[in-house]
Structure formats: structure tokens, C-alpha cells
A and B are shown apart, each in its own frame.
Chain A
Amino acid sequence: MNNSNSGKEHPGSSDHELVRVRDLGFCWGEKTVLDEISFTIISGQIVAILGKNGAGKTTLIKCLNRVQIPQNGKVEICSKDISRQSLIELSKSVSYVPQSVRTSFPMDVFDVLLLGRRPHISWMTSPRDLEAVSETLRKFGLEDLAFRRFDRLSGGERQRVIIAKAVVQNPRVYLLDEPTSDLDLQHQLLVMEAVTDIVRNSGGSKSVVFAIHDINIAARFSDRVILLHEGRILADGTPSEVITRSNIATVFGVDSEIAQSSSNSPMNIIIGERVKQGE
């Protein structure tokens, strides 16, 4: 994993460990959602948090960004404890893309992206901020939508706009919650390619963590999978290590067949019948 520059906004860009989670625990009242979660993510990694609905994926993502405050454990981003940072400081090193946004008063796409500059400016925008926005718009193929209202976009376009806003924010770590939900197949690929390009184009200085329940997307786009089951990490490793027939049966309760023509080609998981619980 090489470490090239990542812009002036990250003086500590030589940090190799971007995310460090230790013994994280979260519960809603009596119900334990996450228990003893520990992992470390280094720069350049594209990590899928895989699990079925209710496994705690969304909560885990939210705990990394102080959207949720965990009861136990510690989260460090770029070697700094997130509970000791202001949100504005934190938002310079990490950007979170929610599964969907609830818009009450929509703005133009350009202005949505401009919000990504907010952690870096006091009030006034400079020409550099505006250029960062239009550059990102071009990179995401959103030029034609620049002055369209956010609420008039399709689901796929909105998702791309919110991811583009995160890119304008220029953090080290991207957290995405189910980035492909509500999208058709073509847009799923489009959005996931945009996400992985973020890391590829950063020369390995950034990393992406995304929560996902689609095994095939996890296998195809990540280089590391953290498999979450009932609030605990069941497996953690490369896609071919983690996505096995027995793990799929345990977590998703379905039989499956895994096809991979060579070790470099993407895995293809064919879902079969539901298996009986209690295996």
C-alpha cells in the first residue's frame, strides 16, 4: 500500500492506520447491537461490512462517525480518538454517506456539493472551493445536473451527488451505508465504480468502508470483507477467504454456489435454496 500525498488538508497523511476500532459495543436499551468489535483499516483498503438486515452494519458505520455514540470501546480515525474531536474536526478526516437523505428544502446540485467545503471554510467560499466543486461534478459526470434541484433527480443521481459531496469534503475515510440500495443493476455498478475510483485515484492514501447486504457487490468491489453476524465479527479477510459456502449459510441462511474462473477474476455467488436454521 503506497502512501502518496493527499492534499494540504491532511498534514498527517503518512498515517498508515486510518481506522482503528477496539472492543466497540453498542446497545439499544437491553438489546445488544454490536459486541466486542475490533478491527483496523489501513489506507488504500476498500472494506465491505457484510451482513444480513439487522446484523448491526448501519450502527457500526454510524459509530465510526459519531452519528451514534457507542457505549463501549474506542474508535480512532487517523490515530485520533473520535470522541475527543469536534464534529467539524472529525468531518475533515471522515465523511459519511447515509443510506438515504431526508430533504426538506432542496438546493441545486452545485450547492449540495459546496456543502462538502463547509468543514474547511469559515463562511465565505473562495474560487478554489468553487473549482473543487466543478471539478468533482465533472469527475462524476454530473455537469449537466449542476443546476438542477436535488429533489428532481432520480435515486441513482442523488446517490452519486451525495457521494460527490463527500469527495468534495476530501476526507481520508469514506463511510457509506448501503450505497446501492434502491438502485437498478446498471446504477449499482456506476455508483460502486465511482466509490472504488475514489481510492484508486488517491494513490492509496484514502480508504472506503461500505455496509452492504449484497454478497456479489461485496465480492466484486471490496478487497476486504468484514462479515458481521448478530453484532459480532464472524470473519474478516479477503473476499475469497470470507465469502464461503458455510459462512453464507450461517449468516444469510441460504445455500449457495461460488463460481470463480481464476483467482483474479471476480467471484460470482449464486444463491440457492433456503437452508434449515440451527446448522
Chain B
Amino acid sequence: MDEITKEHQEKASRQLVMVVSLCMVTLLFAVFSMGTGSSETLDVKTTMKIMFGIQTPSELQSDIIWGLRLPRVLMAIIAGTALATAGALMQGCLGNPLVSPLTLGVASGAALGAAIAIILGFSVYPDVAIVANAFAFSLLVVAIIIQLGSMRSVSAESYILVGIAITFISGAIVSTLTYFATDAQLSQLTHWSFGSLSRPTLEDTIWIGAIVLCLMPTVLIFAWDLNAMSLGGDDFAISTGVDPQRTRRNILILSALLTSVVISFTGLIGFVGLAAPHMSRLIIGNDYRKLIPCSAVSGSLLMLFADTAGRTLFAPVVIPVGIMLSIIGGPVFMYLLMRHRGGVM
């Protein structure tokens, strides 16, 4: 093996070590997060003992661990994975570093669905009114994306502009609806839009996790196509054997699904989908074969960190993860960008 190949493989192993260590840190932090909360008796040690069946818990302790903390920690990991991956995919296939999972209008579709459920009391599935509506309306946006993608020669910019238009339209409808809302409904809607991990139950979490887990391998298949598209644009992609139009549409559908399945349950969480991919680009570079796993892991870690901070900083008041993410993640993100001045895009 010659020098250059060797150097390339050394670089690849360094990157692998990086992702594996990030995984370990995330796992450790998840354990720490399981042992953190307002219940004094449940520290990390006791929690782990109970979870592995070494210690018999009281009924309250059992409820807290299995009913509150575990779904929350799992949901942080799942949501982080899904949103960060969606963000990385969308940035790549639209060739735009400003894009996040909220850009396509999937989230504002979900918000409109939630508002209709909360204020008008109408839902496509009244048992879980808000979630069902949010999901149904975000799927409506996915349908618009599919429709747009099947048109002839639709550019990356068209998707972004249509996404912005959808955001404006749903925003306007939600604003109109607020004029007919009671104070209680308004507060419920505001809370929904903050984005919180406390809403999904353990059962919800397992379902969401299963869906995200099924979509992730499909995502990796697109790694080469994304490399070609984000390195050289559409013409270059074609010369590498990639059909940019079709690939872009498929990737956007995939990321819209990843986004909507999460935010229908959690409410609006935006920042992780923008920041985690960019942080990963700084750590590991722009090769999507490595960037996708790295984004997924760093997204999980970012979510876990923000949620744990939100639960502990002002305890017993819990600040929703959507807010904490922007407060903590924002400055960290800016610091990283400035330190690597000009090195991101």
C-alpha cells in the first residue's frame, strides 16, 4: 500500500474513533441523565441498580424511572438522531448551509395541525388529538413536496421557497385562529410550540424509535449521491451517475418523514437540526458516509445535554428542551463557527 492510500486510511480510522468516542460520551451522558431529576433518592447509582434489577424500587421510584425518565432520555436520543440527520440530508441535497428541518414547512404544517386540534377541537383522530393532527398536517406538507418533486426541472431553491411560503401560510392561519381561542387554549398552543420531551409516553417513544431506526439505513444509502451533489452541483452529480432531481425528491421525503414523526410528538424543536450537522462537519468533514452517523450521534448528545440542563438548572421548574437548545446550543455553535472562521461552508 502506498503513502497516500495509507494516509487516507489513517484518516478514516481517526474519524471512526471520533464517532465511537462520541457514542460512548452520549451513552455515559444518558446514564447520568437517567440519574438526574427532582427526586432526591434516585441518583445515578440507585437508578442503575433499579434498572438492572439489583434493587427493588418503591412504586413511586418505579414510576419515575420507567414512566418519566426513561421515555424522556430515549426520546432525546431519538429526536436528536432524527432531526440532526434530517438537517444534514437537507443541507446536502439543497446545497445550502442555512437549511434546517424546519425550512421545508413540515414543522409549520404540524403547528397548524396542533392549533386546529387545540382551538377548533377538530382532529383526524380524537383519542390523541394534537399528535394525530400535527402528524396528518405535516404529511400534507410532505405530499406537497412529493407533488413539487414530480414536476419537471424543479430546482433546490424552489423547494426552499415553497417551504417558506408554506411557513407563512400556516403561520397566518394559526395567527387567525388565535383570535378565536380562549386563554387556556392559547397557553396550550404556546407550550406546544416550545417543543418538549415530556409528552411522549414510553410506548410512543418505542414506536417513534422503531420508525426512525427503520429509516436510518435508507438514509445511508444516499451518502454517495449527497457527496456528489454537495461537492459539485447537479451537472457534476449527473456525470457521477446520480439523478439529482429524483435523488433530491427522495431525500427530502425521507427527511420530512424523520422530522414529522418526531415533532408531532414533541412540538417544535428546530435548532438541533441546524447545529448538529454543522458541528459534525467541523469534527469530521463533509463526507456523508461519515457525516450522517456523526450528525446522528452529536444530535442525540446535544438534545440530552439541553434537556438535562433544562430539568436541573432551574429545578423544580423545567424549561422545555426546545428553549434550552437555543440558549445553550446557540452560543456554543457560534463559538465553534468563529473559531473555525471560514471553515464551515
Chain A residues with CB under 8 Å of chain B are 62, 65-67, 86-92, 94-98, 101-108, 110-112, 115-116, 118-119, 123, 127, 130-131, 133-134, 137-138, 143, 146-147, 150, 162, 166, 169
Known contacts A96-B239, A115-B240, A123-B224, A101 near B8 by CB under 8 Å: no
* B285 cross-chain contacts in A, Cβ below 8 A: 107-108, 111
Q: Smallest CB-CB separation from A92: which chain B residue?
A: B241
Q: B233 interface residue, CB < 8 Å from A?
A: yes
Q: A107 near B2 (CB under 8 angstroms)?
A: no
Q: B235 near A98 (CB under 8 angstroms)?
A: yes
Q: Which residues 235-273 of B sit at the A interface, judged by CB distance below 8 A?
A: 235-236, 238-243
How far is it, in angstroms, between the C-alpha of A95 and the C-alpha of B236 when the chains are bound?
9
How far is it, in angstroms, between the C-alpha of A160 and the C-alpha of B235 when the chains are bound?
17
- Given contacts A105-B92, A118-B242, 16 further A-B pairs with CB under 8 A are A62-B235, A67-B239, A92-B241, A98-B236, A102-B95, A104-B91, A104-B231, A105-B97, A111-B227, A115-B227, A115-B228, A127-B1, A131-B2, A133-B5, A146-B7, A150-B231
How far is it, in angstroms, between the C-alpha of A91 and the C-alpha of B239 when the chains are bound?
6
A124 CB → nearest B CB, Å: 9
B17 CB → nearest A CB, Å: 17
Q: B238 near A101 (CB under 8 angstroms)?
A: no
Q: Smallest CB-CB separation from B88: which chain A residue?
A: A105
Other-chain contact of B231, A106, A127, A147 (Cβ < 8 Å): A106
Known contacts A65-B239, A87-B241, A116-B240, A104 near B4 by CB under 8 Å: no
* A131 cross-chain contacts in B, Cβ below 8 A: 1-2, 5
Q: B4 near A146 (CB under 8 angstroms)?
A: yes
* B232 cross-chain contacts in A, Cβ below 8 A: 98, 101-103, 162
Other-chain contact of A137, B4, B92, B236 (Cβ < 8 Å): B4
A92 CB → nearest B CB, Å: 8
How far is it, in angstroms, between the C-alpha of A89 and the C-alpha of B220 when the chains are bound?
21
Q: A90 near B241 (CB under 8 angstroms)?
A: yes
How far is it, in angstroms, between the C-alpha of A118 and the C-alpha of B287 when the chains are bound?
13
Q: Smallest CB-CB separation from B156: which chain A residue?
A: A104
B329 CB → nearest A CB, Å: 21
How far is it, in angstroms, between the C-alpha of A87 and the C-alpha of B241 when the chains are bound?
5
A152 CB → nearest B CB, Å: 10
How far is it, in angstroms, between the C-alpha of A62 and the C-alpha of B234 when the chains are bound?
12
Q: B233 near A102 (CB under 8 angstroms)?
A: yes
A-contact bits for B111-135, CB 8 A (1 contact / 0 none): 0000000000000000000000000
How far is it, in angstroms, between the C-alpha of A118 and the C-alpha of B95 when the chains are bound?
20
How far is it, in angstroms, between the C-alpha of A107 and the C-alpha of B285 when the chains are bound?
7
Q: Which residues 47-101 of B sit at the A interface, judged by CB distance below 8 A?
A: 91-92, 95-97
18 A-B residue pairings within 8 Å (CB atoms): A65-B239, A86-B241, A94-B239, A96-B235, A96-B239, A101-B236, A102-B232, A103-B233, A104-B95, A104-B96, A105-B95, A107-B231, A111-B285, A118-B228, A119-B240, A131-B2, A162-B236, A169-B240
* B1 cross-chain contacts in A, Cβ below 8 A: 127, 131
Q: B191 interface residue, CB < 8 Å from A?
A: no
With a 10 A CB-CB cut-off, give which of B1, B4, B9 has the most chain A CB atoms: B4
* B243 cross-chain contacts in A, Cβ below 8 A: 87
Chain B residues with CB under 8 Å of chain A are 1-5, 7-9, 11, 91-92, 95-97, 220-221, 223-224, 227-228, 230-233, 235-236, 238-243, 281, 285-287, 345
Dominant SS at the B interface? helix
Q: A88 near B281 (CB under 8 angstroms)?
A: no
* B224 cross-chain contacts in A, Cβ below 8 A: 115, 118, 123
Known contacts A115-B227, A115-B240, A162-B232, A130 near B8 by CB under 8 Å: yes
* A111 cross-chain contacts in B, Cβ below 8 A: 227, 285, 287
Other-chain contact of B5, A95, A97, A134 (Cβ < 8 Å): A134
Q: Smallest CB-CB separation from A110: which chain B residue?
A: B8
How far is it, in angstroms, between the C-alpha of A62 and the C-alpha of B286 when the chains are bound?
28
B124 CB → nearest A CB, Å: 38
Q: Smallest CB-CB separation from B234: which chain A residue?
A: A67
How far is it, in angstroms, between the C-alpha of A253 and the C-alpha of B1 when the chains are bound?
55
B289 CB → nearest A CB, Å: 8
Q: Smallest CB-CB separation from B343: which chain A residue?
A: A149
* B233 cross-chain contacts in A, Cβ below 8 A: 98, 101-104
* B220 cross-chain contacts in A, Cβ below 8 A: 123
How far is it, in angstroms, between the C-alpha of A143 and the C-alpha of B5 when the chains are bound?
11
How far is it, in angstroms, between the C-alpha of A255 and the C-alpha of B240 when the chains are bound?
41
* A147 cross-chain contacts in B, Cβ below 8 A: 7-8, 11
How far is it, in angstroms, between the C-alpha of A110 and the C-alpha of B233 when the chains are bound?
18
* A62 cross-chain contacts in B, Cβ below 8 A: 235
Q: Smallest CB-CB separation from B229: which chain A residue?
A: A104
A248 CB → nearest B CB, Å: 30
Q: A88 near B241 (CB under 8 angstroms)?
A: yes
B293 CB → nearest A CB, Å: 14
Q: B240 near A118 (CB under 8 angstroms)?
A: yes
Other-chain contact of B230, A92, A104, A110 (Cβ < 8 Å): A104
How far is it, in angstroms, between the C-alpha of A47 and the C-alpha of B296 when the chains are bound?
48
With a 10 A CB-CB cut-off, give which of B1, B223, B240, B281 has the most chain A CB atoms: B240
Known contacts A101-B233, A134-B4, A134-B5, A107 near B227 by CB under 8 Å: yes
Q: A103 near B231 (CB under 8 angstroms)?
A: yes
Q: A118 near B241 (CB under 8 angstroms)?
A: yes
Q: A96 near B95 (CB under 8 angstroms)?
A: no
The 4 tightest CB contacts between A and B, nearest first, are A91-B241, A101-B232, A104-B95, A96-B239
* B4 cross-chain contacts in A, Cβ below 8 A: 110, 133-134, 137-138, 143, 146
Q: A127 near B239 (CB under 8 angstroms)?
A: no
